[in-house]
Homo-oligomer: A and B are copies of this chain.
């Protein structure tokens, strides 16, 4: 349940257009453990009332600065004074994939660095640690003239945001991003410490990390050692983070209060009915259609040889993972009960507005959103295909970035596309000059798949499709582009990155030429979506006031891939009339394998067969809690009242997939790997005693 994107922040922006103000669901009870809370607005009262827990500022600072964001789409935490960072195997997979080649398959086979010298520096990895939050709402809003048109407001907001970020970056040296919260009701400046010298310390074999494979993904009970351990360095030396989580000596037990700090990517809990219907009728089914098309394409390629399988492994997991998540979301949208509740909630809000003169004008906000959503829906396929997907090709993505960079860098900082702002420079270059291996056959496969898809969706006779294909069939065109481009060469990228716009306008590289030839249309499609989103944000800000007046409850914003605090209880649940206990143990792994005749993907890794007798089979393996999480929370630490590490989030159960739209604690559960299983496995399966000792507090 890694966050649903393939291309880091750039892709996320594409998907983020529907994020809207979120708040406590109207029908939820006071006692439910709902919420993905801002670290500067934690649910103090709820925690005090239900659990007798006092949230102190020191406790908050501790968990905040021990938490780590993986920019490729996940979470993690510092777990030693010497910079050890733990995350999920499936979050580390991107790094494992990029470190592997034809002869070393670290993603499949695992890795352990016995000494510091053995640790492997990751390719293009960036980690962020949130250092401070500042509310800049007033300054942002003051920069928007009251009489501004939508287009002017959008431009003004972009300009002031760039200005604030740049100022902060120059002053503090931190990566600085203005985050839109409550869909435009608040703007907070987040400052992050960046780590880019990150080295691989330990990964189990994928079959232990992802035991049960796609069939068991989003299921429970589970037996997964879904971990990957890195170490941060600064200036070539061990990093010593300001905060780290001590490893709990005793672990956790049924009923315990636990906390989760991490980076949920996207929720859509307070979409209007018009938006939800568009999700149901278009966005989710269309996303599923694309996901399934690419899943079949990559699955089929992967099976042709072991090396193909290795090349596509991480991408294929991503498609399968998203497909399962979207299937679950669609299930929720087609469930009359969920939609019925949503309709009731909207009717309550509208009813309140209609009967309170000061809010009567707000009724128009729902109509404005519905109208904007219609425009977004009509333009969505074009925007997605021409802009967000980057042709599903690494080469095209690089080519487009190079081409646009020349134009964008010539503009004032405040007028650029956000990914080209000065505040994003380091992150952009890390990706642009990445030494990530690129395989011609695999690029060709994905590009052919994309070209077939765009023909199907926009039509063979669409002018932009004709421009891209240039009179060739999709497969012939993809072959020609991949064979002909020079952007595989990093020196060439650096040369073009330093060149000016005139040079790029005449550059003959075939993929640069494609990026250039569709740029106007792609930018137009993106702009249309962004301006309609601006309209929706203004409307949502009005609705938020009605909601606050009606409910008066404290409110958390929808997820934005920024740090949030969730909490809940370790607690089993009932399914088909049977009680599912909160914990599994190591014995269960062997039982599940036996029940499935050790058939893939339920086969035991050889090392786990050999070491079975050594293991304490009663060691807790995975557990579930009611914490409110979503994709992006993968790798989040599960911590106890004392702020100690007791586990690591790695998945949610199938009943949680509707959490995108509404929280529930009846059956929905967050899944963690137990801290005790990690130590037991490191010691007895992986002979990683030194690492286990360091996690338990021995000094490096």
A residues neighboring B (CB under 8 Å): 213-215, 277, 280-281, 285, 288-289, 292-293, 295-296, 299-300, 303-306, 323-324, 330-331, 334-336, 452, 455-456, 459-460, 471-476, 596-597, 599-601
Contact = CB atoms under 8 A, between A and B. Distances in A.
Contacts of A336: 471-473
16 contacts: A215-B300, A215-B303, A281-B460, A288-B293, A292-B296, A296-B296, A296-B323, A300-B324, A303-B601, A306-B596, A306-B597, A331-B473, A331-B474, A331-B475, A334-B452, A336-B471
Q: By CB atoms of chain B within 10 A, which of A296, A456, A474 has the most? A: A296
B473 A334 contact: yes
A475 B476 CA distance: 42
Contact of A306 (B292, B305, B331, B599): B599
Given A214-B300, A303-B214, A460-B281, A334 B599 contact: no
Nearest to A472: B336
Given A293-B292, A306-B596, A460 B334 contact: yes
Contacts of A303: 213-215, 601
Given A281-B459, A300-B214, A456-B285, A334 B292 contact: no
A235 to B, nearest CB: 43
A306 B285 CA distance: 30
A476 B338 CA distance: 13
Contacts of A289: 289, 293
A473 B452 CA distance: 32
B460 A330 contact: no
Given A280-B460, A452-B330, A473 B335 contact: yes
Chain B CB count within 10 A is highest, among A288, A303, A459, for A303
Contact of A215 (B281, B304, B472): B304
Contact of A305 (B214, B300, B330, B596): B596
A330 B472 CA distance: 14
A305 B596 CA distance: 6
Nearest to A216: B304
Contacts of A330: 452
A459 B596 CA distance: 40
Contacts of A475: 331
Contacts of A281: 459-460
Given A305-B596, A331-B473, 10 more contacts: A280-B460, A285-B456, A289-B289, A292-B293, A296-B296, A296-B323, A303-B601, A306-B596, A331-B475, A334-B452
Contacts of A213: 303
The 6 A-B residue pairs whose C-beta atoms are closest, nearest first, are A215-B303, A285-B456, A215-B304, A335-B473, A334-B473, A292-B296
Nearest to A601: B303
Nearest to A327: B452
Contacts of A460: 277, 280-281, 334
Q: Which of A323, A456, A472 has the most CB of B within 10 A?
A: A456
Contacts of A331: 473-475
A228 B165 CA distance: 70
Contacts of A304: 215
A210 to B, nearest CB: 13
Contacts of A299: 299
Nearest to A336: B471
Contacts of A295: 292, 296
Nearest to A455: B334
A585 B304 CA distance: 21
Contacts of A459: 281
Nearest to A332: B473
A480 to B, nearest CB: 13
A218 to B, nearest CB: 11
Contacts of A601: 303
A472 B285 CA distance: 18
Contacts of A471: 336
A330 B474 CA distance: 10
A299 B323 CA distance: 13
A460 B333 CA distance: 11
Contacts of A600: 600
Contacts of A596: 305-306
A280 to B, nearest CB: 6
A70 to B, nearest CB: 27
Nearest to A475: B331
Nearest to A299: B299
Nearest to A305: B596
Contacts of A452: 330, 334
A293 B303 CA distance: 19
A246 to B, nearest CB: 39
Contacts of A334: 452, 455, 460, 473-474
A300 B452 CA distance: 24
A330 to B, nearest CB: 7
A451 to B, nearest CB: 9
A455 B306 CA distance: 38
Nearest to A284: B456
Nearest to A448: B331
Nearest to A277: B460
A488 to B, nearest CB: 21
Contacts of A473: 331, 334-336
A306 B598 CA distance: 10
Contacts of A597: 306
A469 to B, nearest CB: 8
Nearest to A451: B334
